[in-house]
Each structure stands twice: as C-alpha cells, then as structure tokens.
Amino acid sequence: MRDAEGHARPGPPYLRIAAELRGRIESGELRPGDRLPSTRQLIRDRGVAMATATKALSLLQREGLAEAVPGVGTVVRRIPSLAKQTPRAAPPDSALTRQRIVRTGIAVADAEGLRAVSMRRVGAELGVGAMALYRHVADKEQLCVLMTDAAFGEHRLPEPGPPDWRSRLETGARWQWRIYRRHPWAAPLVASLIDPPLLPNAMAHVEWQLAVLRDLGLDPVILMRLMISLAGYVTGIALSRVAEVTGSGSAAFRRASDDAAAEQIVGSGRFPLIAAFEVNRRELDDIDALFEFGLQRQLDGIAAYLEREAENNSGAL
C-alpha cells in the first residue's frame, strides 16, 4: 500500500526503517554521498533480523534514493549526471569565457567527482567542442587549478577579523573546512603541504592569518610550521571523507571494512577490548563533530606550545 506521494506506507519493520531513512534524506539531513547505516548497524541499533535490514536498504535503492558503493556501503544517491539533463543551445563563441568554463567544471565535479571533469565533458555541457575551450584554458590541469582557486574564493574571510591568534586560526580552519564540504574534490588538489599549487584566493587566506600571527614574535619557520600543521589537519580530514565516499582506499582496506568481515573479526575473540567497546555509531560518524573536536585539540596544542615558549623566553631574560 502506498501513500499520496507514492511511497510505501510504513507497516512491517523494514518499511518503518526505510521510511525513517527516506525522511532524513528528503529533509536534507542525509546529503548525496552520505553513508546510510549498514545492515550490521541496523541489526544492532534496531534489533531486527539481517533480512529486515537488507530489505530496508534495498527498498531505498529501488526508489532511486540510495546506491551501493563497493568498499563503502550504501550511500545517498548522488545528483544525476548533468549530461542527462536537457541539452543547452550552443552559446556564441563570444559568450564562452574562462569564468563560464571554470564554473561548469565545478558543477561537473560537484555532481560526479573530479574524474568526470575533462575538456570534452565541459565543452559538451557548454554546447561547444573541446577545442573551443583551449582558447581560454590551456589544459585540464590548468582547469583544475582554476576551479580550486574559484572554490577558495567563494567565501570571503571577515574583515578585520578576530584580533587574537586562536580565534583567527579557528575561523580560518572552519572557512577551509566549509570549502571542502561543499567541494570535496578540492582537497586532493591542494593536499601537498610543502609545494601546494599557487592559488591567489588560498594565498589571501595565508595573508589574512599572518595579519595577527606575525605579532606572536615567532621565528618565521616555526610560524609557518604551525600554519601548515593546522592546514594539514583540515585537509587530512577532508581527504578521509573523499576516500569514504568514493571508495578510493586500497582494495585490501575496503575488503577489511566490509560489515560482515568486520563482524567476524571482532567476534573472533582476538580483540576483546574492541568487542566490549560500545559507541554510538551515528555520533561517531558525524564528520563535522569529528572535525570540531580535532580542531579544538589542535588549537589547544598550539596554545600549550606558545605558553611554553613564553615561559622559556621569560626565563632566559
């Protein structure tokens, strides 16, 4: 039996579970790419049988709300391919600009990931051949750099900004995190901490931080290490999110993370402390809460370092 919107009306346990998850998807609580509870989690948290948990997830897949990703699990289905939408009329050559090309590349990457971005694909989205793009962008590598710089320029940092070092680093880290949450593909492109791509909008972020951090009186190398370490933390969490959603980890790791395999390993008796450790997976899987917790610990560590340096300097006088 179905309701007015065509959804199966809750009745048996698997329908109730599916209805709850469907509501979280439609409300936006679960976004495209977010992982749904595994069958093992549903069995543990809801006290249902394996068949019930499996039927609930299968129903969401049949409705087009979820999809199975090898090595990851069942996730909220991503936005349909842009190529399947209504074709656009080809713009006149004068209307083809670098900015339009970059924004189109970002739209493709947001919807389908960076692998889907190519000169041919972006040209198709704009209704032109790939060769037309080369008048404005040298190649895909330059396009990706321009896309990343544009992503970093979407949100302006507050001016004049917090006057103290901790609030400024905290604000800057959250700014960076918002960019990665909106554009997950950007994190791998700036992952190099020693030799990152030259992005004017990212350099503006460094400049914004230095406006306050320079007054700490630290050696320039130490100061840059502090900034690079914090940026590395933010990027690292973002990269783990990319790997989780895309299943880009190693094949061995993906096999080991399979729900059935994990249950067998934990139940083997080799890891009694882990087996006895009870944790709310929904809370643990909250990537934003994890980021905030780690960010505060990073800042606590910097504060302890600065305090120790101040004590050492005062003792040397």
**Residue 95 belongs to a domain with what CATH number?**
1.10.10.60
Q: Are 300 and 209 within one domain?
A: yes
Which of 41, 76, 111 terminates a domain? The answer is 76
* Domain of residue 102, residue span: 82-152
Average pLDDT over residues 213-238: 93
Q: Are 206 and 224 within one domain?
A: yes
E strands in the chain: 66-69, 73-76
Tell me the pLDDT tens digit for each residue of 89-123: 555 555 889 999 999 999 999 888 888 899 999 99
Q: Are 190 and 286 within one domain?
A: yes
Domain count along the chain: 3
Q: Are 62 and 146 within one domain?
A: no
Give the separation between CA 141 and CA 201, rounded to whole angstroms.
18
Q: Are 140 and 218 within one domain?
A: no
Q: Which residues contact 123 (CB under 8 A, 6 or more apart)?
A: 129, 130, 131, 132, 133
In a domain, 266, yes or no: no
Note whether 103 and 151 are within 8 A (CB). Answer: no
Tell me the pLDDT tens digit for each residue of 3-52: 434 444 446 888 889 889 988 888 888 888 888 888 888 888 888 887 78
Q: Are 68 and 94 within one domain?
A: no
Note whether 30 and 21 are within 8 A (CB). Answer: yes
Judged against a pLDDT cut of 70, whether residue 251 lies above it is answered with no
Q: Are 210 and 305 within one domain?
A: yes
In a domain, 103, yes or no: yes
The pLDDT value given to residue 104: 95
- For residue 4, what are the CA distances in angstroms to 1, 7, 8, 14, 23? 10, 8, 10, 20, 15
Task: Please name the residue that has the structure tokens 């396009």.
Answer: 143
pTM of the model: 0.65
- For residue 176, what are the CA distances in angstroms to 35, 108, 154, 187, 297? 23, 21, 11, 10, 17
Give the separation between CA 218 and CA 29, rounded to whole angstroms.
43
Q: Are 207 and 295 within one domain?
A: yes
Note whether 289 and 283 are within 8 A (CB). Answer: yes
Q: Are 35 and 136 within one domain?
A: no
Give the separation between CA 236 and CA 248, rounded to whole angstroms.
14
% pLDDT > 90, the chain: 42
Give the separation between CA 181 and CA 133, rounded to whole angstroms.
28
Q: Which residues contact 54 (CB under 8 A, 6 or more apart)?
A: 39
Q: Which two tokens stand for residue 213?
A: 């951090």
Q: Are 222 and 238 within one domain?
A: yes
Q: Are 181 and 220 within one domain?
A: yes
Which of 46, 76, 106 terminates a domain? The answer is 76
Q: Are 66 and 94 within one domain?
A: no
- 284 pLDDT band, cuts 50/70/90, is confident
In a domain, 4, yes or no: no
Average pLDDT over residues 240-266: 58
Which of 76, 94, 119 terminates a domain? The answer is 76
DSSP state for residue 100 in the 8-state scheme? H
